[in-house]
């Protein structure tokens, strides 16, 4: 079972029983999520920006346009933290103190590389698109060289990685179990609504089957 | 219409038409979300950690335990970035390039203050609990002084704040509208499942009504 090697910076110190370094589990979390939060530093101030990403084997590509101020300031090789969080449930305990959240999160530390080669950019856009809707890339108009040039993509290797996972019911103090208070988990799920066409879809062109979205992240992203 | 004043650091430079500084809109986003991503710097490395939060007027309280390494290293007055992101839809365009996301996000910059007073900690826990499930605080066993002591809470004032919002259909290049490709928005929603009791709920104690969760963030959090 291949794992990431914890470093001083990724060793989970608080609640270490929630720590996960198993590559397969980390990949599964990354493949299910689609928005990451990128942290970077500018003039000593941390910034955290949401952006789209996709995994390609042991590499993550993420959209750099939202983080353009980072790119302008740091150019190549900027230190980042990429965090992906999936919320699975509200954990309602009998005491206020033991309320919690069931979640799975991945933290990746490293130096992000600006992708400059158009072929690699195209590959990253391919991954972004099919990460959101499997098969979508094959249906849409492909990017031109000009569009590729206008797209900022960054690459981050999965070297320094940790995950944290909480599952299961609340853990109450023994004496609180006698209280007449409901306790358990309220599941939280991502739900995809009925697709809403824009005003200019030609007759006979059918919407995306939302079952394709529900299959997201199930097939892995090795490569 | 009260607004936050953009600073050099919160002025949205890319796609400024998506920028929002209106306080009521910022508050609504903060009240609908429940997980924030906290960015902080340690030894020059940015870290981004998910944690629970709640708003109290023009202040945000967030759980500090997950960010304990930050507290250990920086003590009081640590520079943070608190980001909340709500995803509303996948925006599927006719070209790969114009694919996007409908979302609402808030970024708060500032210096986080460690809450040390037990009365203020209790108020923060009250807000955390009822932010997740309105009315839950009034039903559960209240925290002891010992539990309050064991809880890390940080406070961040809403001074340097910006939001970004994208809504609506994809915007395709004019010549692409003739293509036989479906385009529009797939709505993404948070869905609450049926509550799952733990194994020790006494008979006759009924689960949390999930309608209470659905009313989350609708009543504001002024105070």
Which residues of chain B have a CB within 8 Å of the CB of A93?
140
Q: Average pLDDT in the A152-160 region?
A: 95
CB-nearest partner of A50 from B82, B85, B189: B85
- Pairing status of strand A35-42 against strand B100-114: unpaired
The C-alpha atoms of residue B13 and residue B20 are separated, in whole angstroms, by: 12
The C-alpha atoms of residue B170 and residue A138 are separated, in whole angstroms, by: 18
Scanning every residue of chain B, which has its alpha carbon at the shortest distance from the alpha carbon of A83? B48
Output the pLDDT for position A210: 76
With H, G, I as helix, E, B as strand and everything else as coil, classify residue B200.
Answer: coil
Backbone angles phi, psi at A101, to 5 degrees: -135, 135
> Measured between alpha carbons, how far is residue A156 from residues A30, A46, A81, B39, B48 in Å?
13, 18, 10, 18, 15
Output the pLDDT for position A223: 45
CB-nearest partner of B197 from A89, A97, A182: A182
CA distance A144 to chain B (A): 9
CB-nearest partner of A48 from B14, B37, B132: B37
With H, G, I as helix, E, B as strand and everything else as coil, classify residue B136.
Answer: coil
Q: Return the number of CB contacts < 8 Å for A and B.
A: 279
Which residues of chain B have a CB within 8 Å of the CB of A182?
195, 197, 201, 205-208
Output the pLDDT for position A70: 63
pTM of the full structure? 0.94
Q: Average pLDDT in the A42-51 region?
A: 92
Instruction: Give the burial string for B40-64 (b: 16+ CB within 10 Å, else e).
Output: bbeeebbbbbbbbbbbbeebbbbbb
CA distance B85 to chain A (A): 7
> What's B96's DSSP letter?
G
Query: Per residue in A7-25, pLDDT tens?
Result: 988 888 777 888 999 999 9
> Is the model's pLDDT at A141 over the cut of 90?
yes
Output the pLDDT for position B69: 62
Output the pLDDT for position B91: 97
Backbone angles phi, psi at B27, to 5 degrees: -60, -40
> Is the model's pLDDT at A164 over the cut of 80?
yes
In whole angstroms, what separates CA B55 from the centre of its chain?
9
**Which domains does chain B show, CATH number per domain?**
16-88+101-168 (2.30.110.10)
Mean pLDDT by 10 residues, chain B (223 residues): 89 83 97 95 92 97 75 70 97 96 97 93 95 93 95 94 97 97 95 93 86 66 51
CB B170 within 8 A of CB B92: yes
Query: Per residue in A185-208, pLDDT tens?
Result: 999 998 899 999 999 999 889 888
Strand spans (E) along chain A: 19-20, 35-42, 45-56, 59-63, 78-92, 100-114, 153-157, 160-166, 184-192, 196-197
Which residues of chain A have a CB within 8 Å of the CB of B8?
none
CB-nearest partner of B96 from A47, A141, A199: A141
Q: Do A101 and B35 touch (CB under 8 A)?
A: yes
Output the pLDDT for position A97: 95
Output the pLDDT for position B223: 45
């Amino acid at each position: 079972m291949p794992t990431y090697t914890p470093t001083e910076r990724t060793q989970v110190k608080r609640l270490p029983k929630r720590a996960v370094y198993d590559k397969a589990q980390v990949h599964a979390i990354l493949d299910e999520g689609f928005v990451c939060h990128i942290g970077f530093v500018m003039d000593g101030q941390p910034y955290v920006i949401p952006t789209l990403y996709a995994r390609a084997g042991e590499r993550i590509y993420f959209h750099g346009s939202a983080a353009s101020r980072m790119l302008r300031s740091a150019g190549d090789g900027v230190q980042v933290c990429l965090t992906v969080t999936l919320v699975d449930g509200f954990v309602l305990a009998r005491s206020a103190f033991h309320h919690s959240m069931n979640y799975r999160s991945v933290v990746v530390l490293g130096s992000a590389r600006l992708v400059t080669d158009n072929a690699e950019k195209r590959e990253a856009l391919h991954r972004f698109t099919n990460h959101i809707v499997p098969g979508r890339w094959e249906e849409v108009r492909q990017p031109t060289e000009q569009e590729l040039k206008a797209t900022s993509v960054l690459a981050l290797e999965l070297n320094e990685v940790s995950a944290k996972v909480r599952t299961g019911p609340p853990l109450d103090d023994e004496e609180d179990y006698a209280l007449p208070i409901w306790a358990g988990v309220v599941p939280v799920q991502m739900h995809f609504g009925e697709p809403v066409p824009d005003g200019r879809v030609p007759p006979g062109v059918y919407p995306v089957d939302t079952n394709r979205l529900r299959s997201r992240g199930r097939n892995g992203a090795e490569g």
